[in-house]
Structure 1
């Protein structure tokens, strides 16, 4: 990919993104302009490190995990289509299931289809930092698992996670956490 990446989206690309993402053409153009500012190497993609260097995002405790989930082809770079397709799950009402899937994957650190006690502890620890002692945080994790682990296997399945999130405004929580 040694060629310099095009600085503008074609009208067809903008129209296609608009149809599939729920963003307006103006929003797509603005997102692309911001993306291209991050694209310092002019390759059409942004490295994980470039995202981590953004001061407004750098303090987000789950940023690395979110970036790794946006990177669908696991090449350590975010391409514009990956970013806009992921952001669209928070814009299009019909993509509610994808939103839940995305959040579940944030917590399922090892990708085994379950949120273990350890998974939940590590994600929450990254969010609360030193504001809670480990023992206090572990008590919260244990109570959460005990309350929602209906089959009593010591971890949360996808369905159990959905039950956990029913009382929360998941979209608002995640959008706030991602600062979108």
Structure 2
């Protein structure tokens, strides 16, 4: 992406402006930030480079966010993936898209529902050793029982949306450029 001087061609700029909901100014700013994060200058971000970002270093979900941004599953995030991923968290992104992003954090296997095991795994990332596995499993089981309206033992996207409807997702999942 871009030439040796780190600039996007006009065609690349237009393609990216259509792929994400950013202004041309924001696009240039994000590209500069991406290149600064890309310490080995290979045009992709890996987990180690993302852990070097102070705002992400202590975030227990950074690996899950990387997984969501990494749409082709190669374990790295290209600039296009970075941009499209960030666009889901931009201030002007609608609540539906942000709720979908939050759901995707929990839907590890990307099958469209959150299983007991997936909920346990993500919550374990968040609580660490503050709860033992038995306490955490009880919390997960209660959450599934409360959210699972159709009784299939899983949380669908619609059930998730209902479960988080009282939370201002648009404000909580927001990246300011």
TM above 0.5, one fold?
A: yes
8 A Cα contact 1:89 1:96, kept in partner: no
2:163 is equivalent to residue 164 of structure 1: yes
8 A Cα contact 1:38 1:50, kept in partner: yes
Structure 2, unpaired ranges of 5+: none
Q: Going by fraction, where is helix more abundant, 1 or 2?
A: 1
Structure 1, unpaired ranges of 5+: none
Instruction: Give deviations 1:89-124, integer Å, cap 9, x for gaps.
Output: 223756543322222121012223221112111111
Give distance in 2, aligned partners of 1:73 and 1:82: 9
Which residue of structure 2 lines up, in the alignment, with residue 30 of structure 1?
A: 29
Greater relative CO, 1 or 2 (CA 8 Å, sep 6+): 2
Which residue of structure 2 lines up, in the alignment, with residue 135 of structure 1?
A: 134
2:68 is equivalent to residue 69 of structure 1: yes
Structure-2-length-normalised TM-score: 0.84
8 A Cα contact 2:89 2:173, kept in partner: no
Q: After the TM superposition, which residues 141-156 of structure 1 pair with which residues of structure 2 at under 5 Å, given as runs?
A: 141-156=140-155
Relative to structure 2, which stretch is displaced further, 47-56 or 123-132?
47-56
Which residue of structure 2 lines up, in the alignment, with residue 87 of structure 1?
A: 86
Computed over aligned residues only, the root mean square deviation of the Cα atoms, in angstroms, reads 2.7
Instruction: Give deviations 1:61-109, integer Å, cap 9, x for gaps.
Output: 1110110110111222211111111111223756543322222121012
Instruction: Give deviations 1:128-159, integer Å, cap 9, x for gaps.
Output: 11223333322222221111111222221222
- Kindly state the Cα deviation for residue 20 of structure 1 after the two structures are TM-superposed: 4.2
Give distance in 2, aligned partners of 1:110 and 1:16: 29
